[in-house]
Amino acid sequence: MPVVKADLQACQGYANCVVGATDYFDLDDDGIVVVLRTEVPETDRLRVTEAARSCPVTALVVEDA
Amino acid sequence: MSDATVIVGSSIGGVRTAQSLRLEGYTGDIVLVGEETELPYDKPPLSKAVLAGTAEESSIRLLTGGDADAARIRLLLGHRAIGVDIAGRTLELEGHEPVGFDNLVIATGASARPSPWGQRPGIHVLRTLEDARRLRADLLSGGHLAVIGAGFIGAEAAATARSLGLDVTVIDPLPVPMSRIFNPEIGQWFGDLHRSNGVRTIFGTGVESLEGEQGSFVLRLTNGERLNASVVLVGIGAVPNDAWLASSGLLVDNGVVLDEFCRAVDAPAVYAVGDVARWRHLTHGEDTRIEHWTNAVEQASCVAHNITHPGAPRAYTPTEYVWSDQHDWKIQVVGRVGGGASHTVIGHPEAHGRFAALYTADGTSLRGAAIVNWPKALVACRRGMATGITVQELRDKLESQLDPQPVVAS
Ligand SMILES: Cc1cc2nc3c(=O)[nH]c(=O)nc-3n(C[C@H](O)[C@H](O)[C@H](O)COP(=O)(O)OP(=O)(O)OC[C@H]3O[C@@H](n4cnc5c(N)ncnc54)[C@H](O)[C@@H]3O)c2cc1C
């Protein structure tokens, strides 16, 4: 199953991912992404990949595990 | 079914359209045409980390040749589009034979509004990677940078130049910076931010003339002052790159005019995304053009959906979002702020080191917000805009989270 990978060093807290897939992403108090679910079922792949690609600093990718 | 989508413009809007088409399962040919010979790169860091020299140029590439091959995206770089034949479905290029298409996506973005005070060495605009390289080279010689225009790009470049140790002056005809976007109270705080970081601000004053050469420019201001500068950055906005469509017959009016599905109003196989697109925003009830990064990305994904689902197109009704980094402020603006809307502010830059200004047009519902250095407020505002939260609910929520973080007065 595809998985979400986050680069916590790169994250700048823009929150585009939260808007794109609010059930997969949140921000902590310091504005760093929290991945709520790492496994992405095929039915969510398009939506979660688009949310990951909406990150302005490429901190998120959806990869085949 | 063999099909070809040609995308004109190889920056964020064009690249994301190509990638989203593949994600949607599009199997036709994709050709990505770009005027610049550079591999596609991203623009926001050009006034921030790339200008500061804290990020490598390689970190802003949007697509490598390998990525393009893997996604079967044909790159046609170094060729400017000069016209389109709508009836014949062909794109005309400089230095290349015409390219046929079934769908055309216009993603030619915008250009920096040119300096009305002449163009010569030492007078800069900031839009492309080459612009950023040239400006950085001049900043590294030190001296005094005069920035004309206190909008996002001028303000960011001013902050970056301060971090490189230059003397910086920002000049803007508006008495309060950012007051085209925010109300004066918030705009005033932006002015304070610059001054407390050692930027000299001259607001409510225009530039009458700019004389001299690199290293010894003299700006004559409308208040009679003469200002010396070694380097000048002109940051007075952008203009959409739509002139190349003049002979196409497409309706162009400060951007390509589109319906709610981002299709040209007079040519349904033609779409546009990003800074060049003026589309019918159904929830705002008006034609809208937005020069923000997130808009280019979201519009690209909507257009990719609409090309691959012609029977079930989606209307594009985004909530605006833009960020800007200036000195130690991370500024984020959601929805629509300023204008006639009333606002309420939670937090304070000095008392708390963070704040959120919430805007409402009808006194109840949230219309937009400006947030500085406060990630939880950003998430609450962005989620709240989607779910239709009231200003009162949001205010209560944020106030309860506002633990005082006194900042030592400097
Ligand atoms: C310095 C800078 C900092 C920014 N910072 C932020 C920020 O912090 N946050 C934010 O939200 N937004 C920011 N933006 C805005 C954001 O970068 C733009 O909204 C975004 O780049 C728009 O993307 P686009 O693809 O529509 O257009 P563009 O990025 O303008 O790209 C258009 C592309 O089309 C090409 N082109 C133009 N005409 C032709 C032609 N006739 N034929 C072929 N190719 C052509 C151009 O060469 C260019 O590659 C910033 C912009 C700049 C310049």
Task: Verify whether ligand 1 is closer than 6 Å to residue B46 (CB atom).
Answer: yes
Its domain, for residue A34, covers 2-64
Q: How many domains does the structure of chain A reveal?
A: 1
B65 in any annotated domain: yes
Please indicate, yes or no, whether residues B153 and B103 belong to a single structural domain of this protein. no
* pLDDT tens-digit profile, chain B (410 residues): 469 999 999 999 999 999 999 999 999 999 999 999 999 999 999 999 999 999 999 999 999 999 999 999 999 999 999 999 999 999 999 999 999 999 999 999 999 999 999 999 999 999 999 999 999 999 999 999 999 999 999 999 999 999 999 999 999 999 998 877 788 888 999 999 999 999 999 999 999 999 999 999 999 999 999 999 999 999 999 999 999 999 999 999 999 999 999 999 999 999 999 999 999 999 999 999 999 999 999 999 999 999 999 999 999 999 999 999 999 999 999 999 987 788 999 999 999 999 999 999 999 999 999 999 999 999 999 999 999 999 999 999 999 988 755 444 44
Q: Single out the residue of B231, B75, B248, B71 nearest to residue B146, CA to CA.
A: B231
Please indicate, yes or no, whether residues B98 and B118 belong to a single structural domain of this protein. no
Chain A partners of B332 at a C-beta cutoff of 8 Å? 14-15
Strand, helix or coil for residue B37? coil
Q: Single out the residue of B84, B97, B94 nearest to residue B37, CA to CA.
A: B94
Q: Is B383 on the interface with A (CB under 8 A)?
A: yes
Its domain, for residue B346, covers 328-399
Q: How many domains does the structure of chain B reveal?
A: 3
B294 in any annotated domain: yes
Cβ-in-10-Å burial (0-12, 13-18, 19+) of B315 comes to middle
Please indicate, yes or no, whether residues B52 and B79 belong to a single structural domain of this protein. yes
B157 in any annotated domain: yes
Q: Of B236, B255, B288, which residue is a domain's last? A: B236
User: What pLDDT, on a 0 to 100 scale, did the predictor assign at position B409?
Assistant: 45
B319 in any annotated domain: no
Task: Verify whether ligand 1 is closer than 6 Å to residue B300 (CB atom).
Answer: no
Chain A partners of B24 at a C-beta cutoff of 8 Å? 46
Question: For the segment A1-21, what is each residue's pLDDT rounded down to a tens digit?
Answer: 999 999 999 999 999 999 999
CATH number at residue B251: 3.50.50.60
Query: Nearest 5 degrees, angle CA B289-CA B269-CA B252?
Result: 35
B152 in any annotated domain: yes
Please indicate, yes or no, whether residues B146 and B55 belong to a single structural domain of this protein. no
Distance CA B139, CA A17 (A): 35
Distance CA B344, CA B369 (A): 10
Write phi, then psi, for B256 (nearest 5 degrees): -75, 125
Please indicate, yes or no, whether residues B154 and B62 belong to a single structural domain of this protein. no
Please indicate, yes or no, whether residues B105 and B176 belong to a single structural domain of this protein. no
CATH number at residue B333: 3.30.390.30
Please indicate, yes or no, whether residues B201 and B225 belong to a single structural domain of this protein. yes
Place of tokens 């860091």: B45
Q: Whose CA is nearest to atom 16 of ligand 1?
A: B293
Ligand 1 centre to CA of B322 (Å) is 14
CB B202 within 8 A of CB B171: yes
Q: Is A63 on the interface with B (CB under 8 A)?
A: no
User: What pLDDT, on a 0 to 100 scale, did the predictor assign at position B339?
Assistant: 76
Per DSSP, A9 falls in state T
Indicate if the alpha-carbon torsion angle B88, B89, B92, B97 is positive or negative.
Answer: negative
pTM across the whole model: 0.96
B220 in any annotated domain: yes
